[in-house]
């Protein structure tokens, strides 16, 4: 899942993803796939919350300056996330219920924002 050689910044990002994954699992979600990538986008975590497929963007910042982690998701990043979700959903004959959540980590404090990005 996270096996290739990573830069220090990528290692920090993976650590944030692992913290988010552990948090979401404690709240009853199950992992479907991590780091799904397609041309033009990526999804950090794909999870199940009951019958709902949950696409999760994990953002981490050292502090809440400049609006913090959640505010760092601009319009371009949102389009890339939605594009990746659409690409992932192409594998289904019947579309499942789904949503896009954000796990924002500011200075080590984790916040789970459900339905953060509406499609």
**For residue 6, what pLDDT band results from cuts at 50, 70 and 90?**
low
Give 8-117's CATH code, choosing from 3.40.1350.10, 3.40.50.300, 3.90.1150.10, 2.40.160.60.
3.40.1350.10
**For residue 8, what pLDDT band results from cuts at 50, 70 and 90?**
low
Report whether 61 contacts 9 (CB < 8 A).
no
pLDDT for 33 equals 97
51-92 residue pLDDT tens: 999 999 999 887 666 667 888 888 899 999 999 999 999 999
95-115 residue pLDDT tens: 999 999 999 998 888 999 999
Residue 42 CA, chain-centre distance (Å), reads: 9
* Predicted structure pTM score: 0.87
What DSSP assignment string belongs to 1-41? ---S---HHHHHHHHHHHHHHHHHHHTT-EEEEEEEEETTE
pLDDT for 70 equals 81
SS3 115: strand
**For residue 16, what pLDDT band results from cuts at 50, 70 and 90?**
confident
pLDDT for 9 equals 64
Cα separations (Å) of 26 from 12, 21, 22, 82? 21, 9, 6, 26
Report whether 16 contacts 23 (CB < 8 A).
no
């Amino acid at each position: 899942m996270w096996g290739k050689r990573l830069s220090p910044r990528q290692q920090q990002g993976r650590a944030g993803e692992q913290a988010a994954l552990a948090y979401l699992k404690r709240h009853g979600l199950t992992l479907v796939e991590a780091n799904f990538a397609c041309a033009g986008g990526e999804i950090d975590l794909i999870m199940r919350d009951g019958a709902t497929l949950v696409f999760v963007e994990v953002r981490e910042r050292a502090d809440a300056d400049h609006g913090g982690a959640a505010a760092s998701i601009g319009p371009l990043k949102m389009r890339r996330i939605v594009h990746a979700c659409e690409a992932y959903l192409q594998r289904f004959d019947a579309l499942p219920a789904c949503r896009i959540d954000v796990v924002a980590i500011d200075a080590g404090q984790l916040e789970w924002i459900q339905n953060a990005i509406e499609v």
